[in-house]
């Protein structure tokens, strides 16, 4: 069922952001965090991956806020955004409608996009749908072609979460599934990741912080299929683009990343060592890439 953020958190100096909401075309109350920043630069729009939420971008937003306004969106069915009545609305074209509606309400000429996995796909669709909207795009471990191996792993894991009695149990469950993605992680790292993925429910149990029905579109015949995203990727070519790839990624192959760079020669390709899908963007290589990317963004119109 839908959950809504606590109004008391709004404007909190401790949080550094304000919880804000907008309504989708099918009347879902959707959530984003608004970190304040300078108004002579386009705001940064952060879009998390398939099952992720605004907590993924906390370190980035806290580091950049003040110099940049940072907007961190939670797609329908994640975090503080309402869960959809129809699980078949958990598809990219519906997410696109939700995001375009938010952009209309924000009434800003341009935004700078940082998107992880599904979030990066959404940046491509925004670029193709609304030319000139993106002042730049950083794609985190995603491209127009998605490797079958990574897609199968995601299909197997999405919607298969169980409840846990303690955070250590949750951390161990995350480690069991994702140790191949973050081979250098220790218990403290798994605990930090678990607290991004899970939440404490009203019964005192630790549960995944997304609608488990996100998996249903994957289970329909051809449910993972989408449109040809190469033209959408090409639409990013009018502004600065950076591609961050995990060296161990099973979703974005070396071949696809190379083809992307060949099609957009001005794109910077950055590889994060010893990380799979997807980098957290806290790695030193990713932090430096974000700073170089933002240095290429022109001032707001």
Give 190's contacts (C-beta < 8 A, 6+ positions apart).
171, 172, 174, 175
pLDDT, tens only, 10-38: 444 446 999 999 999 999 999 999 999 99
Assess if residue 199 is contained within a domain: no
Q: Map residue 257 onto helix, strand or coil.
A: helix
| pLDDT the model gives residue 192 | 97
| pLDDT the model gives residue 85 | 96
pLDDT, tens only, 89-104: 999 999 999 999 999 9
Q: What CATH number does the domain containing 95 carry? A: 3.40.50.1820
Query: Do 147 and 252 meet the contact criterion of CB atoms below 8 Å apart?
Result: yes
Assess if residue 183 is contained within a domain: no
Assess if residue 180 is contained within a domain: no
pLDDT, tens only, 136-183: 999 999 999 999 999 999 888 887 778 999 999 999 999 999 999 999
Instruction: Tell me the CA distances in angstroms from 250 to 147, 150, 237, 255, 276, one per residue in order.
Output: 7, 5, 25, 12, 7
| pLDDT the model gives residue 39 | 92
Assess if residue 203 is contained within a domain: no
Assess if residue 93 is contained within a domain: yes
pLDDT, mean of residues 272-300? 96
Assess if residue 58 is contained within a domain: yes
Domain containing 77 equals 7-159+227-295
Give 129's contacts (C-beta < 8 A, 6+ positions apart).
96, 100
Nearest to 294 by CA among 65, 48, 55: 65
**What total of structural domains would you count in the chain?**
1
């Amino acid at each position: 069922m839908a959950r809504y953020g606590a109004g008391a958190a709004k404007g909190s100096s401790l949080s550094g952001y304000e919880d804000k909401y907008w309504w989708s075309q099918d009347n879902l109350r959707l959530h984003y965090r608004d970190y304040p920043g300078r108004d002579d630069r386009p705001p940064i729009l952060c879009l998390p991956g398939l099952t992720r939420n605004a907590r993924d971008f906390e370190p980035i937003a806290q580091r950049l806020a003040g110099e940049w306004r940072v907007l961190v969106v939670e797609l329908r069915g994640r975090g503080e955004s309402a869960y959809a009545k129809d699980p078949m609305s958990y598809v990219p074209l519906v997410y696109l409608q939700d995001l375009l509606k938010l952009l209309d309400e924000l009434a800003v000429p341009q935004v700078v996009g940082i998107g992880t996995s599904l979030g990066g796909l959404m940046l491509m669709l925004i670029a193709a749908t609304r030319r000139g909207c993106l002042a730049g795009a950083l794609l985190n471990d995603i491209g127009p072609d998605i490797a079958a191996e990574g897609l199968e792993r995601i299909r197997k894991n999405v919607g298969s979460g169980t409840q846990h009695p303690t955070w250590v149990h949750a951390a161990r469950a995350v480690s069991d599934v994702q140790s191949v993605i973050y081979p250098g992680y220790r218990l403290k790292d798994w605990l930090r990741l678990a607290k991004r993925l899970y939440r404490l429910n009203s019964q005192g149990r630790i549960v995944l912080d997304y609608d488990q029905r996100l998996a249903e579109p994957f289970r329909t015949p051809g449910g993972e299929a989408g449109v040809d995203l190469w033209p959408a990727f090409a639409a990013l070519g009018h502004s600065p683009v950076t591609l961050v790839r995990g060296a161990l990624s099973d979703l974005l192959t070396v071949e696809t990343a190379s083809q992307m760079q060949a099609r957009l020669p001005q794109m910077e390709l950055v590889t994060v060592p010893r990380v799979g899908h997807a980098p957290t963007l806290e790695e030193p290589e990713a932090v430096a890439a974000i700073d170089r990317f933002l240095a290429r963004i022109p001032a707001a119109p």
